[in-house]
Amino acid sequence: MSAIQITQQNFESEVLKSEVPVLLDFWAPWCGPCRMVGPIVDELATELQGKAKIGKINVDEQSELASQFRVSSIPTLAVVSGGKVLQTTVGAVPKVQLIKMLGL
């Protein structure tokens, strides 16, 4: 299973109403560090199925969401749980740090 593509249309149902924590990866196809983080995010989507939800937000296509999260640099990774942003980090980070951010 790969990460869910999050859009303005499915944001509420996939993120805000999620029963499990959600890791959001704000990225763009032209971003080098984003391409480094992408495979890690996809691995987590498979490994954490049922424990967490992993979503990707293309900042070029979903500028409203990027602005809502005040994303100024990418990749930005944010953990949302219970409709609230619990943690954010900017830049390429190791897999273990993302798992810690999720509280798993």
pLDDT of residue 2: 80
Closest CA to 31 of 72, 74, 70: 74
Q: Does the predicted model carry a pTM greater than 0.85?
A: yes
User: Catalytic residue at 21?
Assistant: no
Taking residues 52-79, what's their average pLDDT? 96
Identify the CATH homologous superfamily for domain 4-97.
Answer: Glutaredoxin (3.40.30.10)
pLDDT of residue 47: 94
- What are 80-100's pLDDT values in tens digits? 999 999 999 999 999 999 999
Strand (E) or helix (H) holding 10: none
Question: Exactly one of 6, 15, 34, 71 is catalytic; which is it?
Answer: 34
pLDDT of residue 32: 94
* C-beta of residue 40 within 8 angstroms of C-beta of residue 98: yes
- Token pair in block for residue 54: 């992993």
Closest CA to 78 of 1, 16, 32, 2: 16
Question: Exactly one of 3, 31, 52, 66 is catalytic; which is it?
Answer: 31
Indicate the average pLDDT of the chain.
Answer: 94
User: Catalytic residue at 61?
Assistant: no
Taking residues 56-61, what's their average pLDDT? 97
Taking residues 17-26, what's their average pLDDT? 96
pLDDT at 46 over 90: yes
Percent of the chain with pLDDT over 70: 99
